[in-house]
Amino acid sequence: MGKINHTTRRLLEETRQKAEEMKTQEEELRQNMGELAATQEQMERLRADEGKMQQEIEDRQKMMIDILNKIPEKVFVKDKDGKLILLNQAVADVYGKTIEELLGTTDFDFFSHEEAQEFREAELKVIEKGEIYYNPKEKFKDKEGNIRILQSKKMPFHISYMNQTGLLGVQLDVTEVQQMEDELKKKKKRLNEIEKKLQEEMGRASEK
């Protein structure tokens, strides 16, 4: 009987210890589950914040593109090899093509070799020497073959995602303004000639 009681007590003690171990493990599991739930909740918040930030970035990029496409100036970026990697609608309109069609093209795709080489050498000078190029009356042939007059400014531009220095160009078409100035000069010259002729005739009349 004493032996049975001893065995029973030992079994009860082992059962109690296992119960305590299970209780401890259950408590640890509950704590781990709580931490996991908190971590998941935090990750969900981070994902939501990340998604919101990404949407804001995309919205800002779209706004910048919309602004570029609405301004009259022709804006473009070329890489170190002279390939167009960014341009606005004003540039595309001059070539009579879409923005997508012009990406990756160079001046050699649209101009004679001599003209394209001249443009290329001038742009390389800007990139290599870090100089700003400005030409108030740069001539350009549009898609109809008409000569346009551009106020052209080109400068070095660091392209971070390509880790290289390219070229940023901003051009304003002043053809109509130049034509008006030329017409005013012609009219002024004509008026001066008429005034001079009148003075000569008045001088001759006073001598009589």
Any idea what the CATH number is for the domain that residue 156 is in? 3.30.450.20
- Structure confidence at residue 10 (pLDDT): 73
Domain boundary pick from 70, 93, 119: 70
> Helix H segments across the chain?
2-70, 89-95, 99-102, 113-129, 175-207
Round to whole Å and give the CA distance between 82 and 123: 8
Residues 168 and 186 in one domain: no
Residues 185 and 146 in one domain: no
Please report how many Cα atoms fall inside a 13 Å half-sphere around the Cα of residue 183, on the Cβ side. Answer: 6
Residues 113 and 31 in one domain: no
Q: Are 143 and 95 in contact (CB under 8 A)?
A: yes
Please report how many Cα atoms fall inside a 13 Å half-sphere around the Cα of residue 189, on the Cβ side. Answer: 6
Residues 66 and 116 in one domain: no
Residues 169 and 76 in one domain: yes
Q: Please choose, from the candidates 88, 72, 97, 89, the residue with its C-alpha nearest in 3D space to the C-alpha of residue 176.
A: 72
Mean pLDDT of the chain: 85
Q: Which residues contact 89 (CB under 8 A, 6 or more apart)?
A: 68, 69, 70, 99
Q: Is the pLDDT of residue 27 over 90?
A: no
Domain boundary pick from 51, 70, 89: 70
Round to whole Å and give the CA distance between 161 and 154: 20
* Domain total of the chain: 3
- Structure confidence at residue 165 (pLDDT): 95
Residues 148 and 161 in one domain: yes
Confidence of residue 78 (pLDDT cuts 50, 70, 90): very high
Residues 32 and 114 in one domain: no
**Domain span including residue 117:** 72-173
Residues 122 and 152 in one domain: yes
Domain boundary pick from 18, 51, 70: 70
Residues 85 and 167 in one domain: yes
Locate 102 and state its tokens.
């012009």
Residues 34 and 57 in one domain: yes
Q: Per residue in 132-171, pLDDT tens?
A: 999 998 888 877 888 889 999 999 999 999 999 999 999 9
**With pLDDT > 90 as the criterion, what percentage of the chain qualifies?**
38
Task: Determine the Cα angle at 132 with ends 169 and 172, to 5°.
Answer: 40
Q: Which residues contact 36 (CB under 8 A, 6 or more apart)?
A: none
Round to whole Å and give the CA distance between 126 and 167: 8
Confidence of residue 51 (pLDDT cuts 50, 70, 90): confident
Q: Is the pLDDT of residue 2 over 60?
A: no
Residues 57 and 121 in one domain: no
Round to whole Å and give the CA distance between 40 and 51: 16
Residues 140 and 64 in one domain: no
Q: Per residue in 169-201, pLDDT tens?
A: 999 999 888 888 888 888 888 888 888 887 777
